[in-house]
């Protein structure tokens, strides 16, 4: 009887909590074709629905199960999902890819349903947009629908983030995503970080500016000063980061850390995988290169090296890999599947290690479950993520270009030593030690912006956003002090010359 009364009280409490939450109309714009990116915002969408809000999502990944108050504009097919190759992912190629994707993302504005929405005059209480290369394209939609806008970054950080929120980027200890270093840099690493930071500044704020101006003129009929100015209306940015996991940088109140928000409660493992794991006398190692790395580009020689390393292990191995694209003989201890429930497998006590490309979602899930990692980074932030884990002594890395059987085998055995397991358990504890869960944090700040709609644009930023280059760097102040000094020196010199003549 008591349990029934308690259950009834819980239901009543939840109902009252939802009733006390003002129902709001929220527009979510996540144009990414990388499903892993959308996984970050989906838990927030579902929790906001639970709290009585109504949501329209522009996405490539509509929910398979219908929910009340959730509707979608399905844009799948406008931009095909292109996987990254395992080679030739340099900076220049990445910039070309970003610019090409920008023009493709802009076509979403011409999607019949999106165009109809923008012409309809419909108003929203909030816009949540992916904070990525597409953000400048879609930020003006918030003005069209008369709503504040919140950015949601699926990565630890991203170019523009600090500038948009009015924070100084100090390159002496704040590495860029392109720099292979942590916050403790040598002299040469600081030189590299300075050069790469300047390169990003030029690439994104000058080259990218011309692309954004063209899109604004063609699609919105307006002129814009710069890429940064296009995002001036952002009230807040949530980021897939948490300082105890990665780097403790200073942040303005408008950058909210919600790292781990995508990690949901574990579910039962499929029976075939469960049997394979339970019959492993020495534990199991997982292998996955994520969802955005092209398995087709993994050369036959690399695959042979990987499988040869696995064949020497006493542990069993589960590989997420499309075997049809690379048919080869498998060692007896290896099971290949096209997909596996990564988060659920990592939680299994018999899973000892994760061999990964070190994408941010995989890194966070590995930390959440307390398992050490062997990182084989391919591109983008993966190299940066791996470096941070190595610094904390919870991971070992193998350079993809020099991936050989013995190197991988030795890296696996090193990562399986007690030191790495103990260090990862400590990092797991730090990750979990926070006042609120990532999802609770995200919900609170999302509703905060809704509650303070009229003031939220300026509430969480520093006033640096309103200063130009010479003001923020005090060049005008130095000039004010130096000018009288220069004038005084000039007058003294002129006077001395005249005195000498006489």
pLDDT value at residue 11: 43
Mark the ranges of the chain whose per-residue pLDDT is less than 70. Answer: 1-21, 79-92, 94, 292-297, 323-327, 502
In SS3 terms, 177-191 reads as CCCCCCCCCCHHHHH
pLDDT value at residue 385: 92
Could you tell me which residues come within 8 angstroms of residue 437 by beta carbon, excluding any fewer than 6 positions away? none
pLDDT value at residue 474: 86
pLDDT value at residue 9: 42
Distance CA 316, CA 310 (A): 8
Pull the structure tokens for residue 373: 């990692």
What's the predicted TM-score (pTM) here?
0.85
pLDDT value at residue 318: 96
Distance CA 91, CA 460 (A): 33
Q: In what order do the strands lie in the sheet with 25-30?
A: 70-74, 54-59, 25-30, 126-130, 149-153, 234-239, 255-257
CB burial class (10 A; 0-12, 13-18, 19+) of residue 75?
A: buried
Could you tell me which residues come within 8 angstroms of residue 474 by beta carbon, excluding any fewer than 6 positions away? none
Distance CA 55, CA 47 (A): 11
Pull the structure tokens for residue 181: 């270093």
Distance CA 440, CA 447 (A): 11
pLDDT value at residue 294: 62
Q: Where are the alpha helices (DSSP H) in 250-312?
A: 271-278, 300-311
Beta bridge partners of 373: 354, 395
pLDDT value at residue 12: 40
């Amino acid at each position: 009887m008591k349990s029934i009364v308690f259950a009834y009280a819980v239901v009543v409490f939840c109902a009252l909590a939802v009733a006390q939450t003002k129902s709001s109309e929220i527009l979510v714009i996540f144009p990414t074709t990388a499903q892993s990116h959308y996984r970050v915002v989906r838990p927030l969408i579902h929790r906001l629905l639970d709290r009585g809000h109504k949501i329209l999502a522009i996405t490539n990944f509509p929910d398979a199960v219908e929910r009340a108050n959730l509707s979608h504009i399905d844009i799948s097919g406008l931009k095909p999902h292109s996987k990254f190759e395992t080679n030739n992912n340099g900076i220049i190629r990445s910039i070309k890819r970003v610019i090409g994707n920008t023009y493709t993302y802009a076509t979403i504005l011409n999607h019949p349903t999106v165009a109809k929405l923008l012409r309809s005059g419909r108003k929203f209480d909030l816009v949540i947009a992916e904070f990525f290369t597409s953000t400048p394209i879609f930020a003006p939609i918030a003005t069209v629908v008369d709503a504040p806008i919140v950015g949601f970054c699926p990565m630890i950080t991203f170019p523009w983030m600090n500038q948009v929120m009015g924070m100084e980027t100090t390159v002496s200890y704040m590495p860029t995503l392109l720099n292979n270093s942590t916050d403790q840099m040598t002299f040469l690493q600081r030189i590299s970080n300075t050069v790469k930071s300047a390169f990003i500044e030029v690439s994104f704020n000058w080259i990218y500016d011309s692309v954004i101006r063209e899109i604004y003129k063609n699609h919105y009929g307006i002129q814009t000063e710069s890429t940064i100015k296009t995002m001036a209306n952002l009230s807040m940015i949530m980021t897939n980061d948490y300082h105890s996991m990665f780097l403790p940088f200073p942040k303005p109140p408008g950058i909210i850390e919600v790292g781990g928000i995508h990690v949901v409660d574990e579910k039962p493992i499929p029976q075939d995988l469960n049997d394979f794991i339970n019959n492993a006398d020495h534990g199991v190692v997982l292998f996955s290169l994520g969802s955005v790395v092209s398995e087709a580009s993994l050369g036959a020689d690399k695959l042979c090296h990987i499988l040869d390393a696995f064949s020497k292990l006493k542990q069993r191995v589960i590989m997420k890999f499309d075997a049809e694209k690379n048919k080869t003989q498998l060692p007896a201890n290896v099971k290949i599947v096209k997909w596996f429930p990564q988060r659920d497998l990592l939680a299994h006590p018999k899973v000892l290690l994760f061999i990964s490309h070190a994408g941010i979602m995989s890194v966070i899930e590995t930390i959440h479950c307390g398992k050490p990692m062997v990182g084989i980074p391919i591109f983008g932030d993966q190299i940066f993520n791996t470096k941070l884990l190595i610094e904390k002594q919870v991971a070992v890395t193998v350079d993809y270009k020099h991936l050989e059987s013995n190197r991988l085998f030795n890296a696996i055995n090193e990562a399986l030593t007690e030191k790495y397991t103990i260090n990862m358990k400590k990092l797991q504890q730090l990750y979990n030690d926070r006042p609120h869960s990532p999802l609770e944090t995200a919900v609170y700040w999302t509703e905060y912006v809704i509650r303070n709609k009229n003031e939220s644009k300026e509430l969480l930023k520093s006033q640096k956003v309103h200063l130009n280059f010479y003001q923020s760097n005090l060049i005008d102040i130095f000039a004010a002090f130096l000018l009288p000094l220069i004038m005084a020196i000039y007058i003294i010199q002129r006077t001395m010359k005249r005195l000498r003549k006489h």
